[in-house]
Amino acid sequence: MRRSHVTTVSLLAALALAACTNAKDVLEPSAIAPQSTQAVPTAGTGTTATPTTPATTAQSSATAQPATTTVPPAKSAAVIARTRLQVAPIVGASVEAATPLTAELQTRAKQRGITLAGSAGQTPTHVLKGYFSTMSEGKDTTVIYVWDVYDPAGNRLHRINGQQKAPSVNGGEGWAAVAPETMQAIADQTIDQFATWLGGQAG
C-alpha cells in the first residue's frame, strides 16, 4: 500500500511539474507578444488614444515650426541686403589653397545676396577672418577651419568652425594634398552659415 501510495504521489508530482512547465511556456513574453501586437490595430479606444497623442504633438510642432520660420525671411533678407562683408587675408593656408577658397566665397556670397566690401570704398558691416590648418591621416587629409566674424570696431560677434575631410591628392601631405574642391566646399558652408546667422540676427 505504501509503495503504491508513493508511486501515485510521484506520478502526481511529475504531472504537476509538466503542467507548470507548460504554463511557463505559455506565459513567456515571446508567446504573448504576437497576440498583443495583433490586438493593437483592432483595439478600441485604449490603443488608439496612445498613438494619437504623440502624432498630434508631432503635427502641432511641425505646423508650429513653419509658422515661426515664415516670419523672419523678409527681415533676414533686409539684413542680408544691408550687409557689407569684408574677407580678411586667410591665415595658415597656402596661396594655392586660399585662391579657390576666396573665389568661391565671392561666388557664394553673390548667390546668397551678400555684398562683399572691396576696394570700391564701401564700409564693411562685418569682417570675416579665417584660420586654417591641415591634418593628413593615411590616404585622407582634413582641413580644419575657424572663422571669426567681427564688427568694424573689432568686436567679435560670431564664430564659425568645422572641418572638411577628403582623399589626399598628388600623393602629398599638408596643403599639397588638398584639392580645390575641398576649399570650395568650405567656402560654401561658411557663407551659408554666415547667412543663417545673419537671418537669426533679424529676429
Q: pLDDT of 150-176, one tens digit each?
A: 999 999 999 999 999 999 998 788 999
What's the DSSP call for residue 171? T
Output phi, psi for 135, to 5 deg. Answer: -145, 115
Averaged confidence pLDDT in the chain: 74
pLDDT of residue 19: 42
Segment 10-23 mean pLDDT? 43
Which residues have C-beta within 8 Å of that of residue 198, sequence separation ≥ 6?
Answer: 76, 79, 80, 83, 114
In 138-187, the DSSP E strands lie at: 140-150, 156-167
Residue 76 has a pLDDT of: 75
The residue extents of the domains of the chain are 19-65, 75-202
**How many CB atoms sit inside 10 A of residue 133's CB?**
15
User: Per-residue pLDDT tens for 129-152?
Assistant: 999 999 999 999 999 999 999 999
Q: So what CATH class is 75-202?
A: alpha beta
Helix 95-111 to helix 180-202 angle (10° resolution) is: 40
pLDDT computed for residue 172 by the predictor:
82
H/E element holding 137? strand 126-137
Give yes or no for residue 72 having a pLDDT over 90.
no
> What is the Cα–Cα distance from 95 to 72, expressed in whole angstroms?
38
* Whole-number Å distance between alpha carbons of 110 and 114: 6
Question: Who has greater pLDDT, 76 or 59?
Answer: 76
Average pLDDT, stretch 81-110? 96
Q: Which residue has the higher pLDDT, 119 or 75?
A: 75
Query: Amino acid letter at 66?
Result: P
Collapse the DSSP code of 165 into the 3-class scheme (helix H, G, I; strand E, B; otherwise coil) and give the result: strand
pLDDT at 11 over 70: no
Which residue shows C-alpha cell 576649399? Answer: 183
DSSP string over 73-94: HHHHHHHHHH-EEEEPPPBSS-
- Residue 200: pLDDT band with limits 50, 70, 90: confident
Unique residue bearing C-alpha cell 533676414: 76
